[in-house]
Chain A
Amino acid sequence: GAGVSQSPRYKVAKRGQDVALRCDPISGHVSLFWYQQALGQGPEFLTYFQNEAQLDKSGLPSDRFFAERPEGSVSTLKIQRTQQEDSAVYLCASSLPSGGTNEKLFFGSGTQLSVL
Chain B
Amino acid sequence: GESVGLHLPTLSVQEGDNSIINCAYSNSASDYFIWYKQESGKGPQFIIDIRSNMDKRQGQRVTVLLNKTVKHLSLQIAATQPGDSAVYFCAENESGGGADGLTFGKGTHLIIQP
Contacts and interface: CB of A to CB of B under 8 A. Distances in A.
Contacts, number: 64
Interface residues of B, number: 25
B104 A104 contact: no
Given A45-B99, A102-B31, A110 B43 contact: yes
A113 interface: no
Interface string A8-29: 0000000000000000000000
Given A101-B93, A102-B32, A102-B95, A107 B101 contact: no
A48 B101 contact: yes
Contacts of B99: 45, 56, 58
A109 interface: yes
B56 interface: no
Contacts of B106: 40-42
B41 A109 contact: yes
B102 A105 contact: yes
State the main secondary structure of chain B at its contact with A: loop
Nearest to B96: A102
Interface residues of A, number: 26
Contact of B34 (A33, A43, A101, A104): A104
Contacts of B34: 104
B100 A56 contact: yes
A89 B34 CA distance: 21
Contacts of B104: 35, 42-44
A58 B32 CA distance: 21
A58 B99 CA distance: 9
Nearest to B9: A40
A4 B43 contact: yes
Interface of A: 4, 33, 35, 40-45, 48, 55-56, 58, 91, 93, 100-110
